[in-house]
């Protein structure tokens, strides 16, 4: 086996820097927006130093991977939970995966982890224990438990007037 085949490409979320993930060898990747999410001094220093040391590279995902991701999350119900930055990071993971690279995403974000589980891309968390199953979210009334579609914009229930929250449902 080629030595390169064994190398894992790490894709780093902002939480990797904030959580103090130790960057190994030279195959660490992220997207440009993460540099703006890494705000505190210590994490920013780790980030900038890694760029300078050529062990961290900023790359842009392919548009096709973004489309592929949008198909997945429209089904899983994660669309509402993911920021544009999250989506771009996931698209990059799909990109690398489609290129046959061995990857691991480093993130503490449950919504990102949930999507990675669905698309079968390995991940590890920095601070928190990773989630065990696959989850979906359902808008639900706190009072009468009526469930609403994702596009229901009101914050209160049309029947009982109670607050609506997003309930996490475990799928298997
Ligand atoms: Zn209600």
Q: What is the CATH number of the domain that holds 116?
A: 3.40.50.1010
pLDDT tens, residue by residue, 147-163: 999 888 899 999 999 99
Neighbours of 37 (CB within 10 A): 17
Q: How far apart are CA 23 and CA 163, in angstroms?
A: 43
- 129: in domain: no
pLDDT of residue 58: 96
- 138: in domain: yes
Q: Which domain holds residue 69?
A: 3-124
pLDDT of residue 18: 85
pLDDT of residue 42: 86
pLDDT of residue 5: 44
- 112: in domain: yes
140 Cα to the center of ligand 1, angstroms: 8
166 Cα to the center of ligand 1, angstroms: 13
143 Cα to the center of ligand 1, angstroms: 5
Residues 114 and 144 in one domain: no
70 Cα to the center of ligand 1, angstroms: 30
152 Cα to the center of ligand 1, angstroms: 13
pLDDT of residue 126: 83
Residues 149 and 119 in one domain: no
The stretches in the chain having pLDDT less than 70 are 1-6, 128-135, 170-172
Residues 37 and 120 in one domain: yes
Number of domains in the chain: 2
Residues 152 and 96 in one domain: no
Residues 18 and 87 in one domain: yes
* Structural contact between residues 92 and 66, judged by C-beta atoms closer than 8 angstroms: no
- 152: in domain: yes
pLDDT of residue 134: 66
* Structural contact between residues 68 and 94, judged by C-beta atoms closer than 8 angstroms: yes
Q: How far apart are CA 107 and CA 22, in angstroms?
A: 13
112 Cα to the center of ligand 1, angstroms: 30
Q: How far apart are CA 7 and CA 55, in angstroms?
A: 13
Residues 66 and 140 in one domain: no
117 Cα to the center of ligand 1, angstroms: 32
Q: Which of 46, 16, 14, 9 is nearest to 126 (CA)?
A: 16
Residues 84 and 17 in one domain: yes
- 104: in domain: yes
pLDDT of residue 74: 85
Residues 84 and 148 in one domain: no
């Amino acid at each position: 086996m080629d030595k390169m085949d064994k190398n894992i490409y790490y894709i780093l979320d902002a939480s990797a820097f904030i959580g103090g993930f130790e960057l190994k060898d030279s195959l660490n990747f992220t997207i440009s927006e993460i540099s703006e999410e890494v705000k505190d001094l210590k994490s920013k220093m780790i980030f900038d130093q890694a760029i300078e040391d050529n062990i961290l590279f900023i790359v842009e995902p392919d548009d096709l991977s973004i489309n592929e991701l949008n198909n997945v999350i429209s089904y899983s119900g994660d669309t509402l939970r993911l920021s544009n930055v999250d989506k771009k990071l996931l698209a990059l993971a799909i990109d690398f995966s489609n290129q046959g690279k061995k990857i691991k995403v480093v993130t503490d974000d449950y919504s990102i982890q949930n999507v990675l589980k669905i698309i079968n891309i390995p991940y590890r968390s920095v601070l928190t224990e990773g989630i065990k199953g696959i989850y979906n979210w359902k808008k639900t009334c706190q009072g009468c438990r009526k469930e609403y579609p994702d596009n229901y914009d009101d914050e209160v229930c049309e029947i009982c007037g109670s607050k609506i929250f997003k309930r996490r449902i475990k799928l298997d």
